[in-house]
Structure 1
Amino acid sequence: MLQLKVIGTEDVPHVLALQAQCYGPEFLESAEAFVAKLNAARHLHCSYLAVEAGEPLAYVVSLPVDDGQLPALDAPSIAPARAPRTLYLHDLAVSPAGRAKRLGHKLVQQVVHRAQDMGLTQVALVAVQGSRAYWERHGFAASEAPLSAALIEKLASFGSGATLMRRSLTPV
């Protein structure tokens, strides 16, 4: 039976193993970076690990962010948001076995519902590795708003072709 559990720091080795199955070497983040993201959203329960029969199959890491802020790729520290309106979906990784079960779709839905429960107005992400069309199918659109210099610099940490995307939420 499939279980979605809130990711704790004890799950970081599973996250790193799944990440290695799904991303090219230029996108691999350290354990320290994942712990920083989890700590920035401590007690908010917005990152999940999909496990079936004891086997981790997929994860999503998200955290609330202040307007115009997002953590750079492999950021070793992240300050918790002060007045967030956005849940930033930082990372989604689904193993081949998890793809057959549509776990990516389930985890994205979980994040959207969590953001609505938190009273946030949008979910944002950075699309990489040619994934823009995937995110568009989930209701995300490329950000058309002008970006600050700091945000452009952080977006550049994700490599060429990285696209900031947003999905507006309707209140629950």
Structure 2
Amino acid sequence: MLIREMRPDDLSAVMLIQKRCYHAITPESPAVMASKLAAGAGCCFVCEEEKRVVGYLLGHPWRSDSAVALHQELEELPEECDSLYLHDMAVLPEMRGRGVGELLLRRFEEAARARKLAGSHLVAIQGAETFWRRMGYREKPGVDMEKLAGYGTAAFLMAKAF
């Protein structure tokens, strides 16, 4: 398996993975995903096996005290980004249990450390908070629930300090 930076031409494969993996939310549009890829240059990765994209991680700098609303195109990053926001990570169902998520996350965390950021944060959905806890993330208190509303009823803002 190869982990590499995501490119715009990977978005069609990313959209297919997103469609197969998300059932609790409406997947984001290609335009939204492209805007987040552009905002997250150097923070977005794919996992390839035999030249096929089998998983991805989409991240970008953001403020640790807030989440990014779903379906929101990013035109610019806020000032004083202090965290790397893990906006989306998904792995093809048939590839789960093979360490793809851990490999993507390791590369993402390396990018955060290289940017000298204090940590990363994310919104866990569809029961994924168990996975994120195993990866060292903890639920973050004081969440702006309005921004999380689009993520469904069982959404958790989680953070990990480095």
TM-score by length of 2: 0.93
Q: Which residue is equivalent to 2:117? A: 120
In structure 2, what is the equivalent of residue 131 of structure 1? 128
Deviates more, 1:87-96 or 1:17-26: 17-26
RMSD: 1.5
CA offset digits 1:23-75 (Å, max 9, x no partner): 11624111011011112123xx1110111111111000011002433321121
Q: Using the TM superposition, give the Cα deviation of residue 78 of structure 1 relative to its aligned residue in structure 2, in angstroms.
A: 4.0
Q: What residue identity is the alignment partner of 2:73?
A: P
Counterpart pick for 1:89 among 71, 86, 90? 86
Paired position in structure 2 for 1:53? 50
Poorly superposed stretches of 4+, deviation over 3 Å? none
Q: How does 1:1-172 map to 2 (within 5 A)?
A: 2-24=1-23, 26-42=25-41, 45-144=42-141, 146-147=142-143, 151-169=144-162
| Equivalent residue pairs, number | 162
Check conservation: 2:45, 2:104, Cα contact below 8 A.
yes
- Gaps in structure 2 of 5+ consecutive residues: none
Q: 1:157: Cα distance to partner?
A: 1.4
